[in-house]
Amino acid sequence: MKIRKTKHKDKIELQMTPMIDIVFQLLVFFIMTFKIVEPEGDFNVRMPPPASQSPSQPPETPTLILKMTADADGNLASMKLGDVPFTGTDKLTPFDQLRSHIVSLVGDEAGPGTASEREVELDSDFNLKYRYDINAITAISGYIQDGQKFKLIEKIRFAPSSE
Amino acid sequence: MKVVSAKRREVSEGDMTPMIDMVFQLIAFFMVLINFSDIDQDQRVHLPKSELAKPPEVAYEKPITLQMTADEGIILNAGASDLLSIEDLRIALMRQSQVIKAQGDDIKLSDVTVIIRADESARHGKVLEMVDAAQQAGFETFAFRGKQSQDSGFNSRE
């Protein structure tokens, strides 16, 4: 015990300064490069060029055509799936209505090889903002209920645009 | 005790340990959260929101990212500061498809995924022009990218 006490007298001092310098450098680097990234996700669409589309046999069920028109500002003016218009109400947006329509379409034709096999063609005005395309794809391709994802129609393509 | 106080002719030093603890914690935090793989995301592009946009489960084998800003300029190479016109994009994509074709059989043009990151207020027709340019270069598989969100995004109109 006596020996240890005498050793304590000249306690070895660690040189902290260089380490703290480097550690702060690292800290500053990571703070500067830090960027909050929101997760992103994809809608996969397979679109062969129109020229290569061979005149195959017509599909058994006709393609549904979703026609969206734009107003002068590029916002949604009207939306129609086939002959059914979606105007939106106080509570529901047109896209909510479109989704419930698709749900009933898929639900009515239960069984394999029916509505969910159908193809939807998006025919939008040139000026329509892209966000409405994504909204429409979201409404058509599925919905989320109680944290679970249900698929609706996944075959989606774009009509050739015309200016 | 007497001995210690007698020895205190040197500079009294504050206790560094808690500070160093915290600083290491912070470094570890930022190191874990840093994400270099999302480097192709451009801050000039504000993606449309969608509740169904789920990150892909497997990374694409050979993605090409086409981005369009709100002013409808096109970014082909991530991080490039200059915006391309649609004609420039056509030429660049043609060149890329030639390169992929020349590489032989290990990758086909139809396996290449073209990721479309378009700004939510870009015009539909302009986005399709970009898709059309990629189709003409021989690409077939497209992924339209959206920002994951809790709400459906149907009401967004800012």
B131 part of contact set with chain A, CB < 8 Å = yes
Per-residue pLDDT band for B158 (boundaries 50, 70, 90) equals very low
pLDDT > 80? residue A28:
yes
Measured between CB atoms, which of A125, A129, A134 is closest to B146? A134
What pLDDT does residue A25 have?
A: 92
Measured between CB atoms, which of B30, B48, B52 is closest to A34? B30
Percent residues over pLDDT 70 in chain A: 77
CA-to-CA distance for A81 and A84, rounded, in angstroms? 5
Kindly list the residues from chain B whose CB atom is less than 8 angstroms away from the CB atom of residue A138: 50-53, 146, 152-154
Our CA-based measurement puts residue A31 at a distance from the nearest CA of chain B, in whole angstroms, of 7
pLDDT > 80? residue B105:
no
Domain segments of chain A: what residues?
A: 7-33, 61-158
Percent residues over pLDDT 90 in chain B: 1
Kindly list the residues from chain A whose CB atom is less than 8 angstroms away from the CB atom of residue B120: 129-131, 134
Angle at which helices A130-141 and B124-136 cross, to 10°: 80
Structural domains for chain B: 2-36 (no CATH), 40-148 (3.30.420.270)
Per residue in A59-91, pLDDT (tens digit) is 566 778 888 888 888 888 888 888 888 887 777
Helix, strand, coil shares of chain B as percentages rounded to 5?
A: 40, 15, 45
More reliable by pLDDT, A66 or B153:
A66
pLDDT (mean) for A98-108: 81
Per residue in A3-15, pLDDT (tens digit) is 555 555 577 777 8
Percent residues over pLDDT 90 in chain A: 2
* Whole-Å CA distances, A144 to A95, A105, A139, B2, B56: 14, 17, 10, 73, 17
Phi, psi of B123 (to 5 degrees): -80, 145
